[in-house]
Amino acid sequence: MASSQSEIVVNGLKLSVYGLAEYKRLPENTPVAVMFALHGRLQNKSKMDTIAQVLCSLNNVQRQQQQRHLLVVTFDHANHGSRLTDKKANFSWKEGKHENPTHAIDMYSMVRAGATSVSELIDVLEYHLFGATCRPVQCWGCIGFSMGGHSTFFAAANGKPKPTKKKKKRPHL
């Protein structure tokens, strides 16, 4: 059974969120995890649909084991898919009849932009997904292929742990 796919806009990015409708039907205290799935060069977020569906299918197994519900989030990298503004910047130095003398810096900036987008989304996505209830995401993850894999590496290497609210312990009487 295919997982739901919701489209939302956050920080100016069009996101596809897989598994959100199913999560909203679960008890309010159900823990949640979010996995970003990042596409490769010359692709778009729809290329990650199959992997997002496979990852969300794990929710059927995990639900029986009382584990976190997994949501998968995809978006188009800078200058890809719905964000394409300069097709030439996506090509390598020589690719068929195409030449891009600024390939290295173009790729570096797109890879860094993908990592930055993940970091910025981690800061605000809970509110956009859950509104006023703002259920905390217990675990964040990121996977990617090709260019998306490089962005994943940068996001992990430069990431800062998200601060969590500490509950005050009450003394036992």
CATH placement of domain 5-158: 3.40.50.1820
pTM value is 0.88
The dihedral built from the CA positions of residue 19, 21, 27 and 33, taken in this order, carries a sign that is positive
User: Could you tell me if 106 and 1 are in contact, meaning their C-beta atoms sit under 8 angstroms apart?
Assistant: no
Q: Over the stretch 12-41, which tens digit does the pLDDT of each residue have?
A: 999 999 999 999 999 888 899 999 999 999
34 Rama sector, left if φ>0, alpha if ψ -120 to 50, beta otherwise: beta
The CB density around residue 94, as the number of other CB atoms within 10 Å, is: 11
CA distance 131 to 140: 18
Mean pLDDT along residues 148-172: 73
- What does the angle CA 27 – CA 59 – CA 116 come to, to the nearest 5 degrees? 95
Closest CA to 3 of 56, 46, 49: 56
Closest CA to 152 of 107, 119, 104: 119
The tokens for 13 are 């990015």
CA distance 155 to 10: 18
User: Could you tell me if 64 and 171 are in contact, meaning their C-beta atoms sit under 8 angstroms apart?
Assistant: no
Q: How far is CA 70 from CA 24, 83, 117, 144, in A?
A: 12, 27, 20, 16
Instruction: Give the DSSP H or E segment for 85.
Output: none
Instruction: Give the pLDDT band of residue 172 (cuts 50, 70, 90).
Output: low
Q: Over the stretch 101-147, which tens digit does the pLDDT of each residue have?
A: 999 999 999 999 999 999 999 999 999 999 877 678 999 999 999 99
